[in-house]
Each structure stands twice: as structure tokens, then as C-alpha cells.
A and B are shown apart, each in its own frame.
Chain A
Amino acid sequence: MSRLAQTLAPFVLIAMLLAAWETACRVLAVPTYFLPPPSAVAVSLISDWRVLLQSAWSTLSMALIALVTASIIAQCLALAVGLSPVLERAIRPLAVVLQVTPVVAIAPLVVIWAGLDHAERAIVALAALVAFFPIFSGAVTGLKAVDPDLERLFDLYGANRLQRLLRLRLPSAVPYLLEGHKVAAGLALIGAVVAEFVAGSGGAQGLAWRILEASHRMQTANMFAAVVILGLMGAMLNSLLQALEHAGLRWWRGR
């Protein structure tokens, strides 16, 4: 198959699905509130683009703040755990319990703690909580993923603990950290949207809030428009982090 065909294939499929959807809506006369045709969604996207972009930025910025917060806390904690096996044994069960507890289950609690007037704090906190684990477990794994022979070499030359940490364990962890951040970024976005649903509006009017608002007014096309933006944003964030991971690995291995 030629490169052109390979590149075009997904777009052709999307176009075909959209065409089928549009035709079905028109032929079967589906009510717009139940399933709007793609053309109605497009109209909504065009007429509301300013509001949608503002909401998208609101959600994205909170996801990014959450990602940075999670990254700092997770790496510091992983470092402490990496330096002290006792601490690791102490923290691990707690971390597992927190990780397997669905974020929606703790969301109402976090909303109360953040203060009902500060939905954005709750959103950042919840998104950070979801983003925390891939970075934390990546860092903990990475700090241990040292080539055993390289470790012996450091023994042989009498390296001290600090040298071992800075020159061996931290650099060894880099690929794991990159992978962890890539996964965490996607989760932070999902976490932010879920948290918006639970935390309600407050001052923040993210994409989830748009979806809820449109749903209350039965403006189904607007709901779809927000979902489309959310999907595009997720895809963009994903490819950005994929590219960052790729570049990071190239820098780490020199090719």
C-alpha cells in the first residue's frame, strides 16, 4: 500500500462514517435532541468556537497544573522510597489502595476539603491524584532498573551512595520517567474532566461543564461539539507527549 493511501486511510473512514451518520439522520428523520447529524454538530462547533476554546483551555490548563504537581510530588516521594527500602514497604500498600480506589469515589470528599467555592482546586487535586501513580511507579521501577553489572562496577570502584544515586540510578530511571509522564498526561486530562463532572461549576467552566450545561438544555449538538473538542485535545496531548518521550529517549541514548 502506498504511503498516500496509508496516510489517507483513517480520514477516508471518518468521512465515510460521518456521511453514513448524516444520511441516516436525514432519511430516518431522527430528532436532533436525540442524535444530531454531523452537520448540526459542525454548526455548533463554528458558532460556539470561542466559548468552546475557552472551556478547552480551562480544562487543559487544570490538567497541566495537575500534571506538574503530580510530577513533582511523585518524583520526590519515589526518590525517598528509592533511598529507603523500609519506607517503600511502608508506603506501597497505601499507594496500592489509593490507586485502585476510583477517583469518582473520593471526589466528593476532595470537593468538601477544597472548599465548595473552589471547584478548581478540587479539580486540580483530583486530576493530580490520578496522574500521580504512573509517574510514581515509573520512578520507583526506574530507580531499581539498574544494570546489575554496572552496579558491580560501581561497587568495584568504591562509589559512595550519592555517586551511585546521581551517576547510576537517576540516569537509569529516565526512560521509565518519560513513559510514566506520557501515561500520566492522558490520565490527568481524563481526571480533570471526571473531576469537573463531580465538582460542578464553581469558577471553572471547563469542557465537562459545557457538556453538562448543554445536556440540561437538551442541546445535544453542543454536547457533541464539546466531546469532539475533548477528543481532539486528548489526541493532541497524546501525540505531543509521544514526541516528547521519543525526543527524550533520543537524547538519553544518543540516537
Chain B
Amino acid sequence: MSVAALTDVEVDYPRGRALGPFSLAIEAGEIIALVGPSGCGKSTAMRLLAGLESPSRGQVTRAPGRGQTAVVFQAPTLAPWLSARANAALPLELAGVGQVEAAARADQALERVGLAGVEAARPAQLSGGMAMRVSLARALITDPKLLLLDEPFAALDEITRRALADDVLALWPDARPAIVFVTHNVEEAVYMASRVVVMTRGPGRIAGEVAVNGPLPRPEGFRTTAQFRAHVEAISGLLAKGMSA
């Protein structure tokens, strides 16, 4: 069953076409990595899926109801004047959930992302990785069917980046939301995704797809397997093809 789909969508901006024609159907519980060169329209595709933008042509099918789709942006995007708890609770409070219940659920969500004990801290008091986790807790608090991650680890150092990727994969089996994430990093895409969709340079179309088999979360040593290397090679090849397309 698909939770969201883009069907032959095209997005035109005044300066030219940004995306398409582009189609992508997202099945329940799958993890898709969107990989492509800068400016190929990955973020535009994400905004279409989030319902934050409408296509010029084509059709967008989304999970109905608010809280069904959640987004984690490139930056943590936290309100500086709110505590970690209040930031995580924001989607619930906007939906009219009472403050006490929202706070309790926010504390649980923060605990799930490994942030027990910093509920009262403000974003300015958190490290970049911790702030990103608050952002993740906020996205997960409504138990979304579709989680969109728009280059969520781009601003982090390599160690924090890998730790966070592992955490996302460790959290995923709880509710098994479908995840679409944008990345520039081919190895990260293979490590995290069950399906890697490679886009051409802008306006982005699909250059090819690579299915990554194997268990999720990944077993230790997955990055050193021949299968992993082969996938990375295949995707790099598709990217090169997409650049010249």
C-alpha cells in the first residue's frame, strides 16, 4: 500500500523548470534515499510530498490528516524561546492536545531519541547533534506514516552524522514509518535506504533506481561488504549518467 505518491509532477518556477517530469510512489514502511546533484529538485520533491508546495502539472497523493506527514529540515529549526520539551510538543499543541499530555508525550519522544534529562534545556544550550535529535523527536511525536528528512545530517560532523543515521534506523522498527531522505552522500544512502532513487541534474528526472536488500537496521560491518561497495558503485554510475543526461 502506498502512503504517498508523486505522479508525473512538474514544477516550474519563473526562472525555469525545477523538477520533472517525475514520479515516485512510496510504499508503507520503506526507506527511500533521494540522491542527485545540487539543484536537481530534491528539496522541491520533498516540499511536494509535505504539501508545502503544489506542482505546476501532475498529481500529488498524500496521507490525509495532519501529523501523518512529518519533516526534518536541514537545520534543526527549533524555536529558540522554547525548551526542548516544548519544541518536541509543538505539533501536538498545534493540534489542540492538552499541555500536560503533550508535555508527557514530548518527554517520551525525547527519551526515544536519547535525550532524557535535557527536556528543559533551550536549543542554544544543546549541541548540533542534540538539537537535530530534538527535531527528530518533534517529527516522530505524531507517529507519522511518512517521515521526510531533507539532508538532515548535512551540517553535522562525520561521527555525529553516522551516530544519528544509526539512531534513525534503530527507531524505525517501532512504528515503521515510510522514510524519504535527501542526501548528497552515496554511502549514507546505501547504508540507510531500502531503495535509492537517483535523480538527474535539474530539472530532476529519475536517472535510475537501486534496491538495497538486507536487514534494516544494518548489521555491523555492512559498510565493508562487497554488496555495499557494489551498490555504491552502481549509484555513482547512475549519478554520472544523470549529470550528462
Contacts and interface: CB of A to CB of B under 8 A. Distances in A.
B136 to A, nearest CB: 13
Interface stretch (A86-94, A154-162, A232-240): A154-162
Contacts, number: 61
Interface in A149-177: 149-150, 152-159, 163, 167-168, 171, 174
B52 A152 contact: yes
Of the candidates B47, B77, B125, the one having the most CB atoms from chain A within 10 angstroms of its own CB is B77
Interface of A is mostly: helix
A217 interface: no
B94 A158 contact: yes
A10 interface: no
A171 B69 contact: no
Given A163-B94, A255-B122, A156 B50 contact: yes
Interface string A107-120: 00000000000000
A253 B94 contact: no
Interface in B118-136: 121-125
Contacts of A163: 94
B52 A150 contact: no
Interface string B76-92: 01011111000000110
A48 interface: no
B77 A147 contact: yes
Of the candidates B51, B75, B91, B121, the one having the most CB atoms from chain A within 10 angstroms of its own CB is B91
A252 interface: yes
A157 B94 contact: yes
Contact of A157 (B73, B91, B123, B124): B91
Contacts of B125: 254-255
Given A154-B94, A156-B51, A158-B94, 18 more contacts: A147-B77, A149-B75, A152-B47, A152-B52, A156-B52, A156-B66, A156-B69, A157-B66, A157-B90, A158-B95, A159-B94, A163-B94, A167-B94, A168-B79, A252-B80, A253-B81, A254-B81, A254-B124
26 contacts: A149-B73, A149-B77, A150-B77, A150-B79, A152-B52, A153-B73, A153-B77, A156-B70, A156-B71, A157-B66, A157-B90, A157-B95, A158-B94, A167-B93, A167-B94, A168-B79, A174-B81, A252-B80, A252-B81, A253-B122, A253-B124, A254-B81, A254-B121, A254-B122, A254-B125, A255-B125
